[in-house]
Amino acid sequence: MPRAALFTITGVAIGVAAGALALATIVNLDVNGAPVSTTTATVIPAPVSQTAGEGAFDLGPASAIVAPSDARSVGEYLASVLRAATGLPLPIEDEGELILAIEPGHPEGGYDLEVTSESVRLAANDAAGLFAGVQTLRQLVPVSASGRSAWAIPATTISDHPRFAYRGAMLDVARHFFGVDDVKRYLDDIALLKLNVLHLHLTDDQGWRLEIDGWPRLTEHGGSTQVGGGGGGFYTQDDYRNIVAYAASRFITIVPEIDLPGHTNAALASYPELTCDGEAPALYEGIEVGFSSLCIDNERTYEFVADVLGQVAALTPGPWIHIGGDEAHSTPEADYLRFIERASGIAAATGKTVIGWHEMGRSDALPAGSVGEYWSFTTPEGDAAELARTFVDGGGRLVLAPADVAYLDMKYDESSPLGLLWAKGPTSVEEAFEWDPAEVVPGVGDARLLGIEAPLWTETIVTMADLESMAFPRIAAIAEIAWSPQPEQGRRDFSEFAPRLAAFGAHLDALGINYFRASGVAWR
């Protein structure tokens, strides 16, 4: 495993300024002025620059939010999350101490936050930056405790912006289906960490999850199964629009994936005309990969691809469409290359930027600017880094989702009841944290990296509680890598992260998010 060296070097210093405030301890008082709890004011992902001030702002029954019309929706969101956290009324008024502003002069994609004993002022160039700042503010408000009448937000000055534009989570709704409400909940979960992309893996051997006009059996038949039985499910086009709109309200872009030409058993079982022998295979509820393929020399295949990708693109406001391309082990090489050239051309003709798993880098005929998603160090098709570099050579960028550190479906340790082990064995929270994206594909640094993604494949994941316990807290580590600068000297250091993670855990508890209490963290 060529990248194993990444895990053996430990950091000596962290350049992120968060350390200062991470150690600032605030005592909150109850109605009688007695201390009710001790809260460490910390933020994940760590802000670019953060200095502690004197005192604290007391958020209380008289506090009001000021949100001008261009920041109104973010103001309402802030009010709703803080009301839920504190029970305070927090009206939106013309005058108040919690001030939101959209104005030029702030970090791109980020925000400036100034908390003094008098007021809280959050400002950004646009609503997306403001929304990111709101997530910071949420974490600065101490977790509620009964009897509390004021919430002391530590005085601080924060100036913050993301390292990468694409900060993603991926959810596999094909192996096990997750309904609209579950997806919305996950969107809320990941928004807290300033992630701004949710890649939905919508189709696979075990299920087709998006209704396509003119191809009703894809969902009626192909959507009726999932791993291990128990029925499947699918999104109507209205359901999908609903997800997309909800994501947009959290400044999250949906990236739809239709996995082609392998991982297509559910489609082949629904439409035998897509197979080469005209025989529909049985539906599949196992977890093997690499056995299915569309029929490459069949024109009907391309009508199907054009119909599906055309409808998916029309339903998706975001700039990207993902066409898979991974593990097509039963598609002969020459067929694969012919297929990828045509299918990626069809995808690009929708006006979207094409994304493909790194195996698509075998093709030298990808649309210019296609984005490659790196997921593993070696695949039967060759060295992943080399294949990923094809995208960069073609003028595109990479999304990194290295299975050995960023796959949320890997077991935490040997005893984890859920998850898989194939990547390099278990992946601890520490391993998910202590890596540098600029070292994954040698020669490809930040300028050619679009971003980072944490996939959650659901072969072993059935419920929302399972899903959250696999994602959290590792997804917090990945979000920090996607947002916060790499320390200038040395590597990320888990011992610096662990106390912030413990504080973050208290927020997860308050939000009812199920998470794994990993060792090495002093969970409250």
496 has catalytic annotation = no
The only residue of 112, 211, 326, 453 in contact with ligand NGO, by rule CB under 6 A: 326
Within 62-134, strands assigned E span 65-66, 98-102, 111-115, 120-124
CB of 235 to ligand NGO, least distance (A): 20
Q: Using only C-alpha atoms, what is the Rg of the chain?
A: 23
Give the type of residue at 112: D
* Full 3-state SS string of 297-361: CCHHHHHHHHHHHHHHHHHCCCCEEEEECCCCCCCCHHHHHHHHHHHHHHHHHCCCEEEEEHHHH
Q: Shortest gap between Cβ of 253 and ligand NGO (angstroms)?
A: 20
Distance CA 473, CA 464 (A): 15
Which CB, 57 or 457, lies closer to ligand NGO?
457
Shortest distance (Å) from residue 421 CB to ligand NGO: 9
C-beta closer to ligand NGO: residue 118 or 422: 422
Contact indicator for 125, 31 with CB cutoff of 8 Å: no
d(CA 290, CA 190) in angstroms, rounded, equals 30
**Which of the residues 97, 211, 257, 327 is marked catalytic?**
327
Q: Which residue is nearest to ligand NGO (CB)?
A: 457
Number of residues that bind ligand NGO (CB under 6 A): 10
Binding test (CB under 6 A) with ligand NGO, winner from 177, 339, 357, 497? 357
In this structure, the strands spanning 320-324 and 203-204 are unpaired
Distances, alpha carbon 495 to alpha carbons 5, 478, 482, 498, in Å: 19, 16, 19, 5
Please say which residue, 409 or 430, places its beta carbon nearer to ligand NGO: 409
Nearer to ligand NGO, 375 or 515 (CB): 375
Site for ligand NGO in 201-260 (CB under 6 A): none
Contact residue for ligand NGO among 92, 127, 128, 289 (CB under 6 A): 289
Among 407, 435, 483, 504, binds ligand NGO (CB under 6 A): 407
Strand partners, 355: 322, 371
Distance CA 288, CA 394 (A): 32
CA terminus-to-terminus distance, the chain: 36
Residue 272 DSSP label: G
User: Does residue 169 contact residue 471 with C-beta atoms inside 8 Å?
Assistant: yes
Beta carbons within 8 Å of 91's beta carbon, 6+ residues apart: 64, 65, 79
Min CB(315)–ligand NGO separation in Å: 23
Q: Pick the closer one to ligand NGO by CB: 211 or 327.
A: 327
| Residues in contact with ligand NGO, shown as a per-residue x/- string from 25 to 54 under the rule CB under 6 A | ------------------------------
Contacting residue, 24, 26, 92, 420, with ligand NGO by CB under 6 A = 420
Q: Which is nearer to ligand NGO, 357 or 497 (CB)?
A: 357
| Residue in 177, 208, 284, 457 binding ligand NGO, rule: CB under 6 A | 457
- Beta carbon of residue 379, minimum distance to ligand NGO (angstroms, whole number): 9
CA distances from 414 to 345, 410, 420, 422 (A): 43, 10, 10, 12
DSSP string computed for 199-247: EEE-EETTEE-B--TT-THHHHTTTS--TTSS----B-HHHHHHHHHHH
What is the torsional sign of CA 153, 119, 108, 188?
A: positive
Under 8 Å between Cβ of 434 and 386: no
CB of 227 to ligand NGO, least distance (A): 10
CB of 365 to ligand NGO, least distance (A): 21
Phi-psi region of 28 (alpha: psi -120 to 50; beta: other; left: phi over 0): beta
Q: Which is nearer to ligand NGO, 92 or 420 (CB)?
A: 420
Question: To the nearest whole angstrom, how small is the minimum distance from the Cβ of residue 14 to ligand NGO?
Answer: 30
C-beta of 127 vs 289, nearer to ligand NGO? 289
Looking at the DSSP assignment, which residues form a beta bridge with residue 353? 320
409 binds ligand NGO (CB under 6 A): yes
Q: Which residues are catalytic?
A: 327
Binding site for ligand NGO (CB under 6 A): 289, 326-327, 357, 375, 407, 409, 420, 457, 459
